Every structure is written in structure tokens, then in C-alpha cells.
Structure 1
Amino acid sequence: MLTTKDQVVREIALASLGEAIRGRIKQAPTSDEIARYLSGDCTGVFLGPSGTGTSVWSYARNAARRQRERLKVRWRWCEKKGEMAVECNGKGGAGKGGGLVIVPPRARSQIIYRLRVAGQNYYLDSLLSKKDQGKVYALASVDRASNHFLRNGSFTRFADWRFVHRARLDVLPLNGARRWGDQQDTRCRRCGYTNETLSHVLNNCGPHMVAITKRHDATVQRIVKNAKLPGEIILNKSAPEADAGCSLLRPDIVIRDERSKTVTIIDVAIPFENGLDAFRVAKEHKLQKYQPIADSLQEKGYKVYLKAFILGALGTWDRDNWAVIKHLPIGKRYAGLMMKLMVFDTIRWSRDIYVEHVSGQRQYS
């Protein structure tokens, strides 16, 4: 109403606002005092009870005061331009972008959008600032494949849907993840490890190693089933033709083609999404571990392709996997479906591991 093109409506609104402020401060308000009133200022002439009834202006004032912390919303009077503008948080969430944004009357159509974005940024920053949250989403937000099931739940059981969101926020009830009450015994209820966290349960707890291995093998089988490279496929064995010193190294997948003298070595890892470096560390470990095989085969005249295939324990997809899929090569159309199935398999196995951990009931045959 204060910025409408209709001059009559604008003048009536301004007069009504002036009367509401005059009833509180007992004098005609200045333009700066109008801005302070609408911003919810409670200092100076606005100190103390209002003493006036409610109106659309008092509602606007109270709304601005309530959202001051979240949206940084404030009314400003620009003396130079002679206009009233609205200021709010324009920061692009999680430390991106910068500062406040000012919405002048000529951009009044943008105000709802700007307030909505300011609210989203506030809650996003609040989530990511928690030390035990945001770790998974730092990786899950990198590639859309990690969240393909969010809108329609495709390839996902209801049980998995209920599990994965709480797991990614790290709010599942475990001895090492209590947020209130007395921190008594944080040991793992199955193996006695000192800290029962979700990372320990899904990746390191001894009684679940069979299920953890089956989760890993599900991804290996998907890759092997759809690989189109010519040659002999060797699973979980030492690479033929490699030096004797490499006999103890057993990569998940080796594809050897004697006609073209090429060897493809792919090893699958399913680390827990413990921050942005989790995938990088897992890849570096795999590449360093199997580099002696690659060096040995290259000395014997083979062309070697060595890569790590990474999936997070909570269904996070590493975008570098697309390069592996392209090399195999797997058709683009089916690659998208295979990606969804791999994400689903991983979440399903992780859910079963967790439920078996807390209930003691076997979740797989």
C-alpha cells in the first residue's frame, strides 16, 4: 500500500500509518521514525508500551521484529531518493554470496521472493553450522544422483525412506549420538567399541561385517553385470601377469584383454559420508593401494586403467563414478537407471544393518 502506483491509496495508507505512529509517540513522525516503527524498533521514542490498538501497521511492525534474527529484515528511509525500502538478508546460504539486499519500491514484485530466500538461507546456515550435521549433505548436495528418490521415492522402500533422512541428519538414537541427558555409556552395544556412532555401526562394527560385505558386493555385481569391455573379468583375485609382490593385492574388478593388451582395474569403496574429504581420502587410499599392480603391468607392456568407484554408506553418489561408467562403457540411458539402483541398494543395506544393530533381529536372508 505504501508503494502502490495508485496515488490515492498510497496517500491514505501513509496517513493511516502516520496516525498509528502519532498515537504511540505523541507527535508527528519523521520519515526515519516511520522506518524505525515498521522495523520493530523498541528504543528511544518507541520505548515502553504502545498504548494504542492493533492495526495492519502494528501487525507489520510485530512481524518485522519477530523475523529480525532470521531474515535481518528492516525498513530504511533513503533521504537522497525520498523513498522507503526494505532491507533483508541476501547472503547465498552456507557462506556464499554476501551481505544484505535492499528492495526499493520499484522492485516491489521481488519482496516475497527475497524474504523467502532469506528464510531458506537462515535455516540452511543453521543446519550446516551444527558440527554433527551437514557432513552428509556436504557430499549429497554435490550430485543430483544422491537425491533422485526425494520427490517420488523411486526404487525406495518405505522403511528406507524413513531411515535415510534421519540418518543423513545424524539424529538416529545411538549411544554415541545423544544430544541431551546424561552421557553415560557410549560404548557399542554389539562389539564394545568406545563410541557407538552411525559411522561405526554402518562401516566398522564387527558383528555386521557380513552385511557390510554384501552391501559392497551388490555394487560390484551391478558394475560387472553391465560392463561392456571385451576381455576376461576377474573378481576379487590378484591380477594375472602382475609381479609376485602384488599377489596379496586383490582388487574388486579386473578386466584383461590380451588382444589389445589393456587391463582395467576398478575397486569399489563405500565410506561413510563424514565431511567433504571422505570421498577424496577413500579414492586416494584405493589408488595408492593398487598402484603397484598398475606399475607392474605397465612394465610388461599393458595399458592400465586404474580407478576407484565410490558410493557413500547413506546413498551418496560420487560424480567421478560417471567417468568409470563411460570407460566400461555402459549406455547412457541404462547408466542413469543403474545409478538409481546402486543408490537404492546401498541405502537398503545400510538400513538393514542399522535395524539389526538396534533390534538384534536379522534383516536379510
Structure 2
Amino acid sequence: MTLSEDRVGMDPITFCDASMNLTYLGVKVSPWLGVNISEVGSHLEQVLRRVGELRLKPFQKLTLINKFLIPHFVHQLVISIPSRALLRKLDTSIRAWVKEYLHLPASTSNGILYATNRDGGLGVPVLEDLVGRVALRAGVKYLLSEDPAIRAMATHSVLQGKLEKLADSLGVKWPCSLTDLKRVRKQQKSNILRAWAAQKVQGATVDIFKGDSVGNSFLRQPSLLKPTRFKTALQFRTDTAATRASLRRAKIVKPGEDTCRKCGETQETLGHVLNKCRSMHERIIKRHDDIVKILSSESLRQDQLTTEEAMLGLTGENLKPDLIVLSQEAVFVVDVTVCYEHKGFVGMARQNKIARYTELQRQLKSRFNVTHGEVIPVVIGSRGAMPAETIKGLKKIRLASKGLLKTLSLSALRGSLELYHSFMDR
């Protein structure tokens, strides 16, 4: 490249011939051919490889990708509006490298990568969707601009043709509105969850964790877990942890050889390991008791009466709920259970607690001479789920602050993670 003798102040004016490119705002531009993104694929692959070589924790690499690298490439891609085939190719590279960073099997559902944190995913942007929305949003703003030159640019045949094609691929008609684009974004998020939930095994808990900001808190703040535990927690969500049932699905273990390696009583599924295996009984009890201690300590701090006094039920059995809370002319029987998140299990655990303690609650109501009484089942998922009914119940006894709910969820999840690793390491 040569410099002309012309200058603006002390700065020389740079020019190039038809075979050269100028770099402007991070984008290569040819005076004759326009924006040049022919090298974007190889550039992205190179950057992703370099990220993999950095001495960072896996979730730090994920943060680097989500917050910095993808926005950098989106800038180039929006300006050029490339083909959807290219965007899909770039998405494939990003997926492969993110799974590599997090030590996830290649077969791990893409849903956990693309779903938002609140819905149980890692929030990795889908370039195919994101670039389209951002480009159309810019087009809408051009059309609404007060500058006639900008408006004229938006209606230019070449740009308008690209925007029309892009809008059609997203299911809207050009020109569209910002409201249309918000609807598209909502639909794209819904499509991701629907496709993930349709997977028989890896998508079995999607509906349970959808919208669970408490149970999904570790996805928004990965530092809440140790790096190795964070990886395992992701495997929990997709049921790809190395149980024999999971290995059989991957054809690593032969059919009939997936019996629990510890108790030998039934198939070694994740649910069995986390909630049923006799060899893990002490750790299962400890996980439960840790949650009870947290609730008891917080209840005592608020000067609410707590006790674990045993009483006779209708059948003559001793009933000993985890907590009895007396507050504002009401008595509450509070009992904790850590339940494996599977369709129907959470609701069933809740109903079992209510049936078990309803008569005891009536006795306590009479004993303490209060006008109101209720059984509060504290059902928490062994993988951290915090059901809406559990939060509703805890609010009645003033034990539902955001910090406390997150602590309860993480206590259950951490207990399950330690239990699982103990099971595998023995």
C-alpha cells in the first residue's frame, strides 16, 4: 500500500487499488467489492482455538465467548449480511469448541448451550438467529431515520433485497417493526426449548427448570461451583453423567450390564444414584439435614418457634416433621424432601407430605390454640430445582428471600454433586 501526498492535517490519506482492502471499524472493505468476509470462518476458528489454549477456567472461556468474541464477529456479519449457510457453519464451530471447553460429550444437546440461563441453558447466542435480528433492527432504524440519505440507503434495491430475504427467513414481512422483532426473539427462544424438550432423555427436565431463576442460578454465576462440579452439574441437566444407564445409551456398556455397581439392586440411573442407592444412604440423609439446618437457623433468627417433637399420627406411627413453626396465630408443619426432578415426581412428593402430616397439623393447631394451620412441604430437586409451590409455601413462613432460596437450591445441588463423585470414586 502506498501513501498519497495529500494529507488531512498531519495525517496522510491512505488509498488502495482494486486488489487491496481497507480496514474500517474492524471490518475489511474493498472499494470495489464492498465488505470482505471471506476469511471470517478461518478467523473465528483460529480465535476459538486460541481461547482453548488460554489458562482460564472453563466457565471463564464461556464468558469470554459470550460477552466479547461473538459480539465482535456479529459486528462484521451484520454489516455484510452473509448467507444462512455461512452462519450455520460458524454456529457449528462455536458449538464444538464450547463443548470442548466444558468437557461435554459431542452428543450433548445443543439446547443446553442455546437456552437462556433462566431457562436452564448457557445462553450461547445462535449467530443464525442473532445476526438476522440485529440486521433487521438496523434496517428498521434506517427507515425511521430523520436523515433522508439514510432512509434512501435503506430503500436501495440491493440492501432492501437482502433485508426482505432475511425477514422472510425469520417469518416476518419486510418492512417490519421493532415489535415484530421482539416477537421473533421470543419465538426463537421458544423453539430452542421445544426442540430440547422433545429429546426423550436429555430434554426430560426442560419444563421443570424452565423459568426457574433460583434453580438455574449457578448457570448465571458459574463461580458458585468448583469448575469440576460445574461440568458435572451440566451433565446432570442433560442426564449424560457417566452412570451405567447413560453409558449403555452410548453403547459403551452392553444391555443387561447396567445394574448399579454398588447395590446391584436395579438399573444404575442418575435418579437411582442421587436418591435411592443404599450405598449412598448417609450422604442422602446429610443432604437433607443440611437443608433442614439452614431453614431451622433462619427460622430461629426470626424468633419463630421451631421444634422436632415426635407425635403420634392416625395410624399410631411416630411423626417427626423437620420443623414446626409458630408464627402470627398460625402453626406450620414444615418437612423437607429432596426429590429427583422427573415428570410427576415433584408433585407426588408434595402430595405425600401433605397427606402424611395433615392430621398432625390439626392436633398442633388445637394444642397451640391458633386459628390457622398448614402443612408446608419443602420439595427441592436433587439437581437444584426450586418448584414454584415450594417458594409459595416458604413465603408463608417468611423464609423465601432470594438469598435464602438460592442457598437452599445450591445446598441440594452441591450435596448431590458430592454424592455422585463419591459414588464414582469408591
2:263–2:278 Cα contact (<8 Å) kept: yes
Q: How does 1:1-365 map to 2 (within 5 A)?
A: 60=83, 85-86=164-165, 101-104=171-174, 106-107=175-176, 122-177=191-246, 178-181=248-251, 182-227=254-299, 230=303, 232-235=305-308, 237-239=309-311, 245=315, 247-256=317-326, 262-275=330-343, 277-298=344-365, 301-302=369-370, 303-330=372-399, 335-360=401-426
Measure how far apart 1:118 and its partner are.
6.9
1:311–1:317 Cα contact (<8 Å) kept: yes
Amino acid in structure 1 at the alignment position of 2:338: I
Tell me the distance in 2 between the aligned counterparts of 1:262 and 1:186.
50
Tell me the distance in 2 between the aligned counterparts of 1:262 and 1:156.
38
2:193–2:206 Cα contact (<8 Å) kept: no
- C-alpha change, 1:247 and 1:124, in structure 2 (3 Å) is closer
- C-alpha change, 1:60 and 1:89, in structure 2 (3 Å) is closer
Deviations 1:78-137 (A, max 9, x none): xxxxx96446576xxxxxxxxxx2332x23989998887776555433321111122223
Deviations 1:229-258 (A, max 9, x none): 6564222x424xx6675542221112357x
- C-alpha change, 1:305 and 1:124, in structure 2 (3 Å) is closer
SS in 2 for 1:320: helix
Tell me the distance in 2 between the aligned counterparts of 1:227 and 1:202.
28
- C-alpha change, 1:231 and 1:151, in structure 2 (3 Å) is closer
- C-alpha change, 1:61 and 1:209, in structure 2 (3 Å) is closer
Tell me the distance in 2 between the aligned counterparts of 1:227 and 1:323.
16
Deviations 1:30-80 (A, max 9, x none): xxxxxxxxxxxxxxxxxxxxxxxxxxxxx848669999xx9899xxxxxxx
Amino acid in structure 1 at the alignment position of 2:346: F
SS in 2 for 1:234: coil
2:217–2:406 Cα contact (<8 Å) kept: yes
SS in 2 for 1:305: strand
Structure possessing the higher radius of gyration over alpha carbons: 1
SS in 2 for 1:287: helix
1:153–1:161 Cα contact (<8 Å) kept: yes
SS in 1 for 2:176: helix
Tell me the distance in 2 between the aligned counterparts of 1:61 and 1:164.
33
Aligned residues with identical type, % of pairs: 20
- C-alpha change, 1:112 and 1:200, in structure 2 (3 Å) is same
More helix by share: 2
- C-alpha change, 1:109 and 1:339, in structure 2 (3 Å) is closer
Q: Normalization by structure 2: what TM-score?
A: 0.55
